[in-house]
Amino acid sequence: MARVVHYVNQFFAGVGGEDSAGQGPTLVEGAVGPGRKLADLLGDDHEIVATVSCGDDDAAGRPEAVGEILELIKEAQPDLVVAGPAFTSGRYGLACARVAAAAASAGIPAVAAMHPDNPGIDEAGAAPVVASGEAARLMGSALDVLSAAVAKVLAGKALTADDGLVGLAPRQPRMADRNAAERAVELALTRLGGDRDATEVPLPRFDKVTPAPPVRDLASATVAILTEGALVPDDNPGALESARATKWLRYSLAGLEELEPGQWRSVHGGFSTVHANADPHRILPLDAARQLEREGAIGKLHEEYLVTAGNGTSVANARRFGVEWAADLRHSGARAAILTAT
């Protein structure tokens, strides 16, 4: 009988909602929540021996969380790890993808499930991700796809698009039946004939983000400053990239009333940084924020700022940064943020 460990967030583990998003990793024996239905679908040849859960904020925002989750998973000695379904939930999706990737790196087969537009997909690494619907109301169909994928992976078979496989797939070289010139002419004629969507290279779909409602009382809120202007201490201790950023960093503002020229600089590669370096407040308006704090217009300035470089950064990384920043700020108690651009 194959041993399966199921990873879920605090909500599907029955621990709580957003009030429990900071919960650390925990393990319970057997199937929990949607895992019970998944266990039924898997049948007698498979057993969900344990369920590992973690709060969304903790899993997505604390770097050590995934390693701790993996250690709990290893305790159950699974033959396979299942993560999700995470639907379109960004923090949950990142956690599921990272848990699956960590398990795969440790030599434990893993499968995650989430919506194709979830920002976590690209974090799954070598672990396959199968599609789910966009919301938990579609849990039934999502578990049908996931259970079939689990059975196939445990049988040693590779998943394909027919199994619901989504995300990055290995390239499969093949011989085209016509050369590039012939295909280009046919495509041009097709487009001229009115089919404006015909293409050999599908374009990505970009998200439409609904703005958060305004803060009701800024005078009592902790406000954070975020920037994609790549402003860092002068020696760039975190080695932030000037373009195509793969990471974000945080630096302390505690005790600082202003940013002195010569001690801070922008490493952004997409514009001339001369004026920004002459006055770092052009990128990170700490002086104005402290004034608002003294006047009582805001309750408190968050004592750290978060920074990345928005120059040529991939949509997948930018989407991931947004989810991680949100989780980090929720942990900190900040309830509003000012994002400065270049």
pLDDT (tens digit, 9 = 90+) per residue, 32-67? 999 999 999 999 999 999 999 999 999 988 889 999
**DSSP classification of residue 19:** G
Q: How confident is the model at residue 170 (pLDDT cuts 50, 70, 90)?
A: low
Q: What percent of the chain has pLDDT over 70?
A: 97
The DSSP secondary structure of 38-102, one letter per residue, reads HHHHH-TTEEEEEEEEE-HHHHHH-TTHHHHHHHHHHHT--SEEEE---TT-HHHHHHHHHHHHH
- The beta-strand segments (E) located in the chain are 2-9, 26-29, 46-54, 80-83, 110-114, 129-131, 165-166, 222-227, 231-233, 249-252, 264-266, 300-301, 304-307, 336-340
Output the pLDDT for position 209. 79
Sign of CA dihedral 18, 19, 22, 28: negative
Q: Is the pLDDT of residue 332 over 60?
A: yes
254: exposed, middle or buried (Cβ count in 10 Å: 0-12, 13-18, 19+): exposed
Confidence check: pLDDT of 206 > 90: no
* For residue 117, pLDDT beyond 90: no
Tokens encoding 78: 């699974």
pLDDT tens profile 273-312 = 999 999 999 999 999 999 999 999 999 999 999 999 998 8
Task: For each of the domains in the chain, give its residue range(s) and CATH number, in order of start.
Answer: 2-166 (3.40.50.2300), 218-340 (no CATH)
